[in-house]
A = this chain, B = another copy of it.
């Protein structure tokens, strides 16, 4: 009956983040997978390429926080399906310049409105100010993680 340390998992932020994020990801995955045959890692690659192409695999790693093996597999799968294109870097042969192909861009542009719609649905109940605040907090947490990971 001793309750020497009142630790409540429900108010433990890393846990809360993990549960909520996994649920959000699952909600998205269902849509992507079902409507476009695209898994989450692949969608992430398409998304960063749509915004920042050309990128190397390594650049995609940095932008998505996925490890390089995962990126490599997602890229391979997208190449197979002709949704992205690769091109050798002019001076550094190790780098591979990746861009969206025509069909890839089409998918990118048709997914965006849907992604935004799901996002809106998930954040309904939050004001614009709330969402902005949330982003700022994620920024700060990210900055702290930068610092921690350097140790």
Decide yes or no: A24 and B20 within 8 Å by CB, A112-B5, A123-B144 being known contacts: no
Any chain B CB within 8 A of the CB of A122? yes
CA distance A115 to B118 in the complex (A): 33
Any chain B CB within 8 A of the CB of A4? yes
Interface mask (A15-48 → B, CB under 8 Å = 1, otherwise 0): 1111111111101100000000000000010011
Decide yes or no: A119 and B63 within 8 Å by CB, A21-B18, A23-B145, A137-B134 being known contacts: no
B144 and A121 contacting across the interface, CB-CB below 8 Å: yes
Query: How many residues on chain A are close to B (CB under 8 Å)?
Result: 59
A51 and B119 contacting across the interface, CB-CB below 8 Å: no
Q: Of residues 1 to 21 in A, which have CB atoms within 8 Å of B's CB atoms?
A: 4-9, 11-21
B20 and A17 contacting across the interface, CB-CB below 8 Å: yes
Question: Who on chain B is nearest to A112 by CB?
Answer: B7
Number of copies: 2
B-chain residues with CB within 8 Å of residue A115 when the two chains form the complex: 7, 12, 14
CA distance A65 to B25 in the complex (A): 13
B18 and A14 contacting across the interface, CB-CB below 8 Å: no
B148 and A122 contacting across the interface, CB-CB below 8 Å: yes
CA distance A146 to B145 in the complex (A): 30
Any chain B CB within 8 A of the CB of A68? no
B65 and A23 contacting across the interface, CB-CB below 8 Å: yes
Decide yes or no: A144 and B119 within 8 Å by CB, A8-B51, A25-B18 being known contacts: no
